[in-house]
Structure 1
Amino acid sequence: MQSKVAALTMVREDLFFLRAWLRHYGEVLGRENCYIVNHGRGEAVADLAAGCNIIGIPGDPHRNFDMKRWRLLNNLVMGLRSYYDHVVVGDVDELVVVDPASGKSLLEYLWDAPLRRVLTPLGLEVIHRIDIEPEAVGARILGPRRHVRLAPHYSKPCVVSVGTKIARGGHFTQHGKLHAPDDLYLFHLKFCDFPEYVGAMNRRNAVTEEIGAGVKETAIGRHWFAEARGEDRAVFKGFAALETVEGFDMAPYRQHMRDTFGPRGDTGFYEFDRPDYGLQFKLPERFSGLF
């Protein structure tokens, strides 16, 4: 029987994150159900993603990069929904994970999930505590990295089984009901490894420099610009100052999402409050080795 779940992303040169994406979704869903937009038709991306469905597109930098990217991803999601029950869509450094305590893989979890809705996992940012964790992650990220920062900005409505429009950046949809399952997480990997962060930021800064326009003149995330970067090592040293919460009870934060969910002005999209909690947690051992 064919999988009822597909995963979709877009990538350009971010091979470290692509390897993690492929380990996770390729192993859980099968590479034949993974769809990768190869921005710039990079040979290394195509080689790594062998066995996946690869869509090559031109890679010329453009000041409306994010707008164009999400227009493409939106339409691909809607098309794939004709063949799959659920489509998981997001950036290559974002992985949707089911709590191992559920006893299910992501495929098994979504196989049993109701249709005609959008699922919003709780966002957790994997952080490299350079003061106490090793520099290298090895074959798997979780294990060498066990610390996460609560990140409502990455609680994204990214598992789609209904016709809806996703906003640029993937943070909002036009689906008017929030479904935030207790066992579902989105792990954001941007800060999971200090050397890889430096390399990724150098690549992004080079793109925006080539475009030659500022934040206000582009549809590109502010974090791509050198002026918003800060000093890299200071950013990572700052993680140690985040308040550490004992245990791993995420129920209050999901409940806040539910309590504050509503229309995003008159845009047609829906949102919930996304406070800056300034909190970190240590992942339970059961998450180690997931990706």
Structure 2
Amino acid sequence: MRRLLPAASLVLLAAIIFRVQTRMDVLRHALPPGYEMLYLPAGKYIKLTSLGYQQIFADVIYLWSIQHTTNEAVPDRFARVEHVYEVINDLDPEYVDPYHIGAMTMVYEMNNIPMALRLLDRGMRNLPANWSIPMDAGFYAFMHARDFDLAVHYFDIAMQRPGAPSVLRRLRADMYRRKGDIQTARDFWHDVLEGTTDERERRIAYNHFFDLSQETDLRVLRKAIEAYTTARGHRPARLSRLKEDGFIAEVPTNPEGAEYIYDPRSGEVSPPSPFNLNRRVQ
């Protein structure tokens, strides 16, 4: 009889477990897909229960977050995305992929640039030697926020980190051109040209430097011609008069040493050589 009691207890226990599991399954299926994200605790609490395996927890939550945000059956699947990536970062601050993938999700799926930049800012603090995270931030600031000053800020950070690719210097220089500061952009392209021995990179840098030099000179000359015409009541007969009468310090020539073409009848000034990158000066 004593030997039968433990067996009976096991059967009863199994029945109870089955009943509880069945009830839990019913409750789980009654909840909408993705409900788990609503109850994900903060990273500091998960750390306490991870028994030193927080990196494994970070991996699991990261993979689960990708499944969650790509499941279109989940209502409001992006509602807690920022919290989820905060948890992952808390568990494993040096885990690089979540910064990139999380920011990509926030930009392209949620169209939330500020949220993406907050995530990348956290990555920059946690990984002070990583250049790819600030490079991503600069790209999003440039392409999506259209904030060229902010893009320069991020590219500056990336350039100062070990192993940063030389393309960052080109991106940074181009930001100045895009925001209208073509003289600064020209100076940066000149620095790129002088600072590299790679022939392909030198060719790219020279083309930008050449075009921006002509663009800068044309703006200077047109402004001086306008000032001269206003002051004298007629257009200058030749460009050298702008220097002779003190409207410019020197009459510029293009990077190849060629003089700019001037038509005194119309007051128009044009470049002596075509723009290498087919730019048009406004």
TM-score, normalised to structure 2's length?
0.20
Q: Which has the larger radius of gyration?
A: 2
Structure with bigger helix share is 2
Give the number of the structure with larger relative contact order, counting CA–CA contacts within 8 Å between residues 6 or more apart. 1
User: More strand by proportion, 1 or 2?
Assistant: 1
